[in-house]
Amino acid sequence: MSIILNHISKRFGNFTALNDINLEIPEGELVALLGPSGCGKTTLLRIIAGLERADSGQVLLKGEDKTHKDIRERGIGFVFQHYALFRHMTVFENIAFGLRVKPRKLRPNEAEIHKKVHALLELVQLDWLHNRYPDQLSGGQRQRIALARALAVEPEVLLLDEPFGALDASVRKDLRLWLRHLHENLNVTSIFVTHDQEEAMEVANRVVVFNHGNLEQQGTPSEIYDNPANEFVSRFIGDTNVISLGHHNTEWLKLSGLVITPDASNSVHIRPHDLDIIKSNTDSAATATLKDWQHLGALIRIELAKKGVNGSPEIIYAQMPNEQFKRLQLSKGDRVDLHIRHAHWFDAA
Amino acid sequence: MNKTNILPGFKPALGFTLLYLALVVLIPLSTLLFKTLAPDSLLTWQGYLDIIGNERVQAAFRVSFLAALLAAAIALVLGFVIAWTLVRYSLPAKRFFDAIIDLPFALPTAVAGIVLASLYAPNGLIGKPLTELGFKVAFTPAGIVVALIFIGLPFVVRTIEPVLQELDTSMEEAASSMGASRWQIFQRIIFPNVFPAALTGFAMAFARGVGEYGSVIFIAGNMPYVSEIVPLLIITKLEQYDYAGATALALTMLLVSFALLLTINVVQMLLRRRTSETLAPLAPVVAITP
């Protein structure tokens, strides 16, 4: 089911939670709403669900205006950050809940409920837990049960609020991929909220970036990573070196192979992996000193000190594969030349 | 007891608890029992049966327990609504209302009784319109129920309130996202979660109501067979130096109250086992407080 949001705004007192959001989500997508905490992403999710009312704007689900419809009439499934499982019911009864509260005419009989609940438990691979209570489950198990419960009513949209937020790192990693594969099988339009850019890039096929209630950019993960629309997105997604454009630095950038065409920008953003390192003996303005390096598994992160504005050192980071770094045979304090392969800059606001 | 327990002070704490329980609760109550059962007791088995079998006494028991049960049930409904309002809505003078709830705890019960009696008397502020409508409250069993609701209400509010505060509203949101109506959410989500606490509040209001004396005697009218409560009968017997009679009534009251509260506790224990989680304190055991 496609989702269209038209000019959604929401304020809480003096605080602008959402500022004129326009967004279109095609059917079957898995979309991440990404942003730092307090940026309005959860509020937007709750407005789509009908748990919160927008001050102005429209919510269209499948082309129908549902702005003033109750959550019950929207055909959505909602998974809460802290699961919101019914603690006084077994896992089975939790999942069966949505079926049992249907109007009598639409309510499936006991055998059908039984079949459906066990099918969902199979789907989330937790059939053996059907008669446990939520308090007896681990975080990851609870989250999967919450998902199965939301799916029981066959929602046309699945909304997940920080679905991995309360889980520990290793469980989170597993569940991310699991969710992505589940989405491939079910193909139900899904939106999840996260503040973790890595999670958004890994799981979603579209990412929408928010900041301070504004929609900053939307696109596929690679679009957003390779062509950030503005400074905020560039800083928020992935690592980046921010070089401010004083006279000194423009000279340095030129020597490092980067010529800035419009000089409207105040700063240049360079991804660590877009920075090549060449061993050097000369003392040109483009040289930097190798300070330290850290192993990040397959990659090495290199800390470089270059001369800053008034002679004080400025730290920039470079990244390269392990093997490549070994071949350079560098040691601490070595002087290196830098070559910038790619960078972006933005018109000054 | 595990010797490596990191929490210190188990023995002094247990000792203190036992001593306190013994001095304040167990010794007085068991004295009542032993005095009655002792061989030199004034009370013989036959005498006991005669006293309890007395029609006026039986009527008083009926009045006491039925009024307390009815009042506790009404206080439960009212108390739930009040607790719900205080927890879920932001009211202007919320703190003020919240403080007022506890007033019946602090007010001397006799004062409450006199005020209620004058309000509900046939010429009183509330009593007058009620009388015109054909309801007589003061000096009837209905008056007893009114007084006991007044006394029992804070117990219900104070036990339900914290549970409602803890209740995760996202459970209700989840239920409505799955299509549950408001009534279904109350019935299937809120009620089962609040029930153990509500039962505790009910039991406390009931226990307090059965033993209540001060506030009731002013509004009840104290007509034998109609609106006479057991604590009053006990006092009456004491004033007539009929210690055996008073003891017999007190003992019976103790046993019936204990049995009722034990039942409530067992129900709660069964409920708790289902969720393996502590939701509410156990119901109290009554003592009569004339």
What is the per-residue pLDDT across A292-346, written as a single tens digit (0 to 9) for each? Answer: 888 888 888 988 888 766 667 788 898 889 888 888 888 888 888 888 888 888 8
- Average pLDDT estimate for A94-113: 91
SS3 A307: strand
Domain that holds residue B222: 50-278
pLDDT of residue B289: 40
- Average pLDDT estimate for A173-188: 88
pLDDT of residue B2: 52
Partners of residue A53 in chain B, C-beta under 8 Å: none
Does any domain span residue B237? Answer: yes
Low-confidence ranges of chain B (pLDDT < 70): 1-5, 273-290
Q: Which residue has the higher pLDDT, A277 or A114?
A: A114
Does any domain span residue B73? Answer: yes
Entry pTM: 0.79
Going by pLDDT thresholds of 50, 70 and 90, the confidence category of residue A68 is: confident
Interface of A with B (CB under 8 A): 49, 51, 70-72, 76-78, 80, 82, 84-88, 97-98, 101-102, 133, 135-136, 146, 149-150, 152-153
- Average pLDDT estimate for A170-193: 88
pLDDT of residue A348: 61
Of the residues B170, B173, B178, the best mutation for testing chain A's interface (the one with the most A CB atoms within 10 Å of its CB) is: B178
Partners of residue B189 in chain A, C-beta under 8 Å: 86
Three-state DSSP string of A224-268:
HHHCCCCHHHHHHCCCCEEEECCHHHHHHHHHCCCCCCCCCCCEE
- Which residues share a beta bridge with A12? A15
Segment holding A344, helix H or strand E: strand A344-345
CATH number of domain containing B83 = 1.10.3720.10
SS3 A71: helix
Does any domain span residue B81? Answer: yes
Going by pLDDT thresholds of 50, 70 and 90, the confidence category of residue A174 is: confident
Does any domain span residue B6? Answer: no
- Average pLDDT estimate for A180-190: 89
Does any domain span residue B10? Answer: no
User: Each residue of B150-187: b (16+ CB within 10 Å) or e?
Assistant: bbbbbbbbbbbbebbeebbebbbbbbbbbbbeeebbbe
pLDDT digits (tens, 9 = 90+) for A114-145: 999 999 999 888 988 988 999 889 988 999 99
Q: Name which of A71, A86, A136 is nearest B189 (Cβ-Cβ).
A: A86
Partners of residue B173 in chain A, C-beta under 8 Å: 51, 71, 78, 80, 84
Q: Work out how many domains chain B is built from and give that number.
A: 1
Residues B284 and B261 sit within 8 Å (Cβ to Cβ): yes
Does any domain span residue B239? Answer: yes
Tell me which DSSP letter residue A96 carries.
H
Residues B138 and B115 sit within 8 Å (Cβ to Cβ): no
Does any domain span residue B36? Answer: no
Pairing of strands A3-12, A56-61: antiparallel
Q: What is the mean pLDDT of chain A?
A: 87
- In this predicted complex, what is the ipTM? 0.82
Region of poorest pLDDT, from A38-42, A64-68, A283-287: A283-287
